[in-house]
Amino acid sequence: MKIVNYFVRLSLLVFVLIIAKSSTNVMDASVENENVNKTINLSTMALKVIEVEQTLKYTAIDTYTGDLTGYVYNCPLCNGTLACMPSYDITDGKNTYSDAEYGEVYIVASSKNLPCGSIVSFESSRISDDKVVAIVLDRGVRGNALDFLAPNIEYAYNNIGRSTITYDVLRSGWE
Protein backbone atom coordinates (compact mmCIF):
# COMPACT_ATOMS: atom_id res chain seq x y z
CA MET A 1 0.00 0.00 0.00
CA LYS A 2 2.87 2.31 0.70
CA ILE A 3 4.13 1.90 -2.84
CA VAL A 4 0.72 2.68 -4.30
CA ASN A 5 0.44 5.80 -2.12
CA TYR A 6 3.88 6.86 -3.24
CA PHE A 7 2.99 6.45 -6.95
CA VAL A 8 -0.32 8.28 -6.49
CA ARG A 9 1.39 11.19 -4.82
CA LEU A 10 4.15 11.27 -7.44
CA SER A 11 1.61 11.12 -10.27
CA LEU A 12 -0.42 13.88 -8.67
CA LEU A 13 2.70 16.05 -8.30
CA VAL A 14 3.70 15.49 -11.95
CA PHE A 15 0.14 16.27 -13.05
CA VAL A 16 0.12 19.57 -11.06
CA LEU A 17 3.49 20.56 -12.48
CA ILE A 18 2.34 19.88 -16.06
CA ILE A 19 -0.81 21.94 -15.57
CA ALA A 20 1.10 24.77 -13.87
CA LYS A 21 3.69 24.87 -16.65
CA SER A 22 1.12 24.89 -19.43
CA SER A 23 -1.02 27.61 -17.83
CA THR A 24 1.87 29.98 -17.00
CA ASN A 25 2.40 32.62 -19.66
CA VAL A 26 6.09 33.46 -19.67
CA MET A 27 7.03 36.70 -21.46
CA ASP A 28 10.34 36.95 -23.24
CA ALA A 29 12.12 40.07 -21.95
CA SER A 30 14.76 40.16 -24.65
CA VAL A 31 14.54 42.67 -27.48
CA GLU A 32 15.98 42.05 -30.88
CA ASN A 33 17.49 44.95 -32.75
CA GLU A 34 17.16 44.46 -36.46
CA ASN A 35 18.96 47.75 -37.13
CA VAL A 36 22.43 46.54 -36.26
CA ASN A 37 24.07 49.08 -38.57
CA LYS A 38 22.53 52.08 -36.82
CA THR A 39 24.35 53.51 -33.82
CA ILE A 40 23.80 56.55 -31.68
CA ASN A 41 26.81 58.81 -31.58
CA LEU A 42 26.44 60.59 -28.24
CA SER A 43 29.55 62.72 -28.84
CA THR A 44 28.05 64.18 -32.00
CA MET A 45 24.76 64.80 -30.23
CA ALA A 46 26.56 66.60 -27.38
CA LEU A 47 28.49 68.77 -29.84
CA LYS A 48 25.24 69.72 -31.58
CA VAL A 49 23.69 70.74 -28.25
CA ILE A 50 26.76 72.86 -27.47
CA GLU A 51 26.57 74.44 -30.93
CA VAL A 52 22.92 75.38 -30.38
CA GLU A 53 23.73 76.79 -26.92
CA GLN A 54 26.56 78.90 -28.38
CA THR A 55 24.25 80.24 -31.09
CA LEU A 56 21.64 81.18 -28.50
CA LYS A 57 24.30 82.75 -26.28
CA TYR A 58 25.22 85.23 -29.03
CA THR A 59 21.64 86.01 -30.08
CA ALA A 60 20.66 89.63 -29.40
CA ILE A 61 17.85 90.25 -26.93
CA ASP A 62 17.88 93.98 -27.73
CA THR A 63 19.71 96.41 -30.02
CA TYR A 64 20.69 100.04 -29.36
CA THR A 65 22.49 102.81 -31.21
CA GLY A 66 24.71 105.19 -29.25
CA ASP A 67 28.10 106.85 -29.04
CA LEU A 68 31.22 104.86 -28.28
CA THR A 69 33.95 106.70 -26.40
CA GLY A 70 37.00 105.61 -24.46
CA TYR A 71 38.12 106.26 -20.90
CA VAL A 72 40.87 105.13 -18.53
CA TYR A 73 40.78 104.22 -14.86
CA ASN A 74 42.43 107.48 -13.77
CA CYS A 75 40.46 109.97 -15.88
CA PRO A 76 39.60 113.31 -14.23
CA LEU A 77 36.17 112.14 -13.02
CA CYS A 78 37.26 108.55 -12.28
CA ASN A 79 38.44 107.20 -8.95
CA GLY A 80 40.13 104.01 -10.18
CA THR A 81 37.26 101.70 -9.25
CA LEU A 82 34.29 100.30 -11.15
CA ALA A 83 30.76 101.28 -10.08
CA CYS A 84 29.45 97.72 -10.40
CA MET A 85 32.50 95.99 -8.91
CA PRO A 86 34.44 98.39 -6.67
CA SER A 87 36.86 95.68 -5.54
CA TYR A 88 37.92 94.73 -9.09
CA ASP A 89 41.42 96.16 -9.63
CA ILE A 90 41.86 98.05 -12.92
CA THR A 91 44.67 100.38 -11.80
CA ASP A 92 47.24 98.30 -13.69
CA GLY A 93 45.62 99.13 -17.04
CA LYS A 94 43.64 95.91 -17.21
CA ASN A 95 40.53 96.45 -19.36
CA THR A 96 39.11 92.93 -19.48
CA TYR A 97 37.05 90.74 -17.20
CA SER A 98 36.74 86.94 -17.12
CA ASP A 99 33.02 86.16 -17.29
CA ALA A 100 31.88 82.62 -16.41
CA GLU A 101 29.66 82.37 -19.48
CA TYR A 102 31.36 84.55 -22.11
CA GLY A 103 35.02 84.17 -21.15
CA GLU A 104 37.44 87.10 -21.41
CA VAL A 105 35.43 90.21 -22.32
CA TYR A 106 36.20 93.92 -22.41
CA ILE A 107 34.83 96.32 -19.78
CA VAL A 108 32.46 99.15 -20.69
CA ALA A 109 30.55 101.80 -18.80
CA SER A 110 26.91 102.49 -19.62
CA SER A 111 23.99 104.39 -18.19
CA LYS A 112 21.57 102.65 -15.88
CA ASN A 113 19.61 101.64 -19.00
CA LEU A 114 21.72 98.47 -18.90
CA PRO A 115 22.02 96.61 -15.59
CA CYS A 116 25.45 95.78 -14.20
CA GLY A 117 26.72 92.51 -15.68
CA SER A 118 25.00 93.02 -19.02
CA ILE A 119 26.89 91.63 -22.01
CA VAL A 120 27.00 93.66 -25.22
CA SER A 121 28.58 93.06 -28.60
CA PHE A 122 29.44 95.54 -31.33
CA GLU A 123 31.75 96.08 -34.25
CA SER A 124 34.44 98.72 -34.13
CA SER A 125 37.46 98.46 -36.39
CA ARG A 126 39.15 100.98 -34.06
CA ILE A 127 39.26 98.31 -31.34
CA SER A 128 39.29 94.97 -33.17
CA ASP A 129 38.75 93.37 -36.56
CA ASP A 130 36.47 90.87 -34.83
CA LYS A 131 33.22 91.53 -33.02
CA VAL A 132 33.88 93.12 -29.62
CA VAL A 133 32.16 91.47 -26.64
CA ALA A 134 32.05 93.55 -23.45
CA ILE A 135 30.48 93.56 -20.00
CA VAL A 136 28.91 96.54 -18.26
CA LEU A 137 30.86 97.01 -15.03
CA ASP A 138 30.89 100.79 -14.76
CA ARG A 139 28.63 103.83 -14.98
CA GLY A 140 29.14 107.43 -15.99
CA VAL A 141 27.52 107.90 -19.40
CA ARG A 142 24.04 108.97 -20.48
CA GLY A 143 21.44 107.42 -22.71
CA ASN A 144 22.56 104.59 -24.97
CA ALA A 145 26.25 105.53 -25.04
CA LEU A 146 29.02 103.09 -24.14
CA ASP A 147 32.37 104.10 -22.68
CA PHE A 148 35.11 101.57 -23.47
CA LEU A 149 37.72 101.08 -20.72
CA ALA A 150 41.04 101.58 -22.50
CA PRO A 151 44.37 100.29 -21.20
CA ASN A 152 45.88 103.81 -21.36
CA ILE A 153 45.04 107.37 -22.37
CA GLU A 154 46.92 107.19 -25.69
CA TYR A 155 44.89 104.17 -26.76
CA ALA A 156 41.66 105.94 -25.78
CA TYR A 157 42.54 109.06 -27.83
CA ASN A 158 44.20 107.39 -30.82
CA ASN A 159 42.11 104.23 -31.27
CA ILE A 160 38.67 104.90 -29.87
CA GLY A 161 37.89 108.60 -30.00
CA ARG A 162 34.14 109.10 -30.51
CA SER A 163 31.99 107.19 -32.97
CA THR A 164 28.39 106.09 -33.31
CA ILE A 165 27.82 102.35 -33.06
CA THR A 166 24.95 99.91 -33.00
CA TYR A 167 25.35 97.29 -30.29
CA ASP A 168 23.48 94.14 -29.33
CA VAL A 169 22.59 93.24 -25.76
CA LEU A 170 23.31 89.52 -25.33
CA ARG A 171 22.59 89.28 -21.61
CA SER A 172 20.73 91.70 -19.37
CA GLY A 173 22.46 91.86 -15.99
CA TRP A 174 23.87 88.95 -14.01
CA GLU A 175 21.21 86.41 -15.06
Model confidence pLDDT, tens digit, residues 6-34: 555 656 555 555 655 555 555 555 556 66
> Residues 6 or more apart from 120 whose CB is under 8 A from it?
108, 110, 114, 133, 134, 135, 136, 146, 167, 168, 169, 170
Amino acid at 103: G
User: Based on the number of CB atoms within 10 Å of its own CB, is 47 exposed (0-12), middle (13-18) or buried (19 or more)?
Assistant: exposed
CATH number of the domain to which 139 belongs:
2.40.40.10
| Residue 91, in any domain of the structure | yes
| Residue 158, in any domain of the structure | yes
| This prediction's pTM | 0.71
| Residue 150, in any domain of the structure | yes
Domains: count for the chain? 1
Q: What are 153-168's pLDDT values in tens digits?
A: 999 999 999 999 999 9
